[in-house]
Amino acid sequence: MRMLFPDWAEAVDPAQVYADLPRANGRPSVRLNMIVSVDGGTSWNGVSGALGGPADKALFQVLRSITDVVLVASGTMKAEQYGPAVLPQATQDARRQRGQTAVPPIAVVSRTCRFDWKAPFFTAATGRPIVITVSDADAADRARAAEVAEVIVAGAHDVDLARAMHELGARGARTVLAEGGPTLNGDLARARLLDELCVTLSPLLASGDAKRIIAGSTLDELERLRLRSVCGEDDYLFLRYRPAKI
C-alpha cells in the first residue's frame, strides 16, 4: 500500500498507518470502516463484497486485528452472512500480549432481537458474541439470545447507541470498529459517536439504489471532517477522516 497524504511513501504498513485512534471522553473510540463505489453505492446486488479488492480485504482484517470490539447492524450481519471474526494465530498472540481477547467479539445491534440462533455467528464463536437490543424486544427472544450471546439492553424502542458504547466500555472496550450498515451508521453519526471514518473508494460504478455510507434523516448541521491520511493500491483509495472538532 502506497501513502499519498500527508506524506508520500512508496510502501507503508497499514497496521502502523491505522494504529492511532483519538481517545473519546468516557466511552470507547469508534472507527467506522466502509467501502463505496465511485458513484456512491455501498453495495451491489445487496452485498458489498464485489466492491472490494485484495488491498481492501487486507485492510479490513488489519482494522479487525487492532480493535477491541466489532460493531455491526443486524441487517448487514444477515445480508453478509457474518460469522465470528477470524484472525491468524500470530495476530491472536499479539492481541493477547496487548491485553486484548485473541479475536474481537462482534456486537450486533438489533431492535427485534430476532436471529437464526443456529448460525455460525453464534455457534462457531470462540468468545461469546454480543447482542445489543432494546427492552421492547420480545422477552423470549432476549432470553434465547442470552443462551448464546452476551446481551446488552440499551434503550426501549431504538438502541441508545451512546448507552451501548458506555456498556461496551464498562466491559473493557477502548476501541470499537463499526462495520455498518448505512442505517446504523446514520444513527451513530446523528449521536456524534463517530471518531474516525475510514472510507475505501472503489474504482467501480454500481448505479442502482444502494444506500450511501450514512443513511437516514439529514443531520441537523453539516459535520466538517478533516482528512487524516490517503493511501492507495490498485486504483483503490483509502481515505481516513476525523471530525474537525477532534
Ligand X SMILES: NC(=O)c1ccc[n+]([C@@H]2O[C@H](COP(=O)([O-])OP(=O)(O)OC[C@H]3O[C@@H](n4cnc5c(N)ncnc54)[C@H](OP(=O)(O)O)[C@@H]3O)[C@@H](O)[C@H]2O)c1
Q: Can you say whether the dihedral through the CA atoms of 206, 207, 210, 213 is positive or negative?
A: positive
Question: Judged by CB under 6 A, which of 29, 67, 100, 110 binds ligand X?
Answer: 110
Q: Can you tell me which of 13, 20, 136, 158 binds ligand X, judged by CB under 6 A?
A: 158
CB of 78 within 8 A of CB of 180? no
C-beta closer to ligand X: residue 9 or 50? 50
Q: For ligand X, which is the closer residue by CB, 112 or 135? A: 112
Pairwise CA distance, residues 158 & 111, whole Å: 6
The dihedral formed by the CA atoms of 166, 167, 168 and 172, expressed in degrees to the nearest 10: 90
Residues 240 and 229 sit within 8 Å (Cβ to Cβ):
yes
Looking only at the bridges linking them, the beta strands covering 29-37 and 196-202 are parallel
Q: How far is the CB of 106 from ligand X (least distance, A)?
A: 13
Count of residues of this chain found to bind ligand X when the rule CB under 6 A is applied? 31
Q: Can you tell me the distance from the alpha carbon of 82 to that of 222, in angstroms, rounded to the nearest whole number?
A: 32
Return phi, psi of residue 225, to 5°: -115, 155
Of 28-87, binders to ligand X (CB under 6 A) are: 34-36, 42-43, 46-48, 51, 73-76, 79-80
Nearest approach in angstroms of CB 22 to ligand X is 22
Among 15, 53, 101, 111, binds ligand X (CB under 6 A): 111
The least distance separating ligand X from the CB of residue 44, rounded to whole angstroms, comes to 9
**Interface characters, 181-200, with ligand X (x: CB under 6 A):** xxxx--x-------------
* Type and span of the H or E element at 200: strand 196-202
- Separation CA 41–CA 32 (nearest Å): 16
Cα-Cα end-to-end distance for the chain: 26
Determine if 173 is a binding residue for ligand X (CB under 6 A). no
- Shortest Å distance, C-beta 230 to ligand X: 18
* Closer residue to ligand X in complex, CB, 95/176: 176
For ligand X, which is the closer residue by CB, 100 or 200? Answer: 200
**Given the rule CB under 6 A, which residues bind ligand X?**
34-36, 42-43, 46-48, 51, 73-76, 79-80, 109-112, 158-159, 161, 179-184, 187, 211, 215
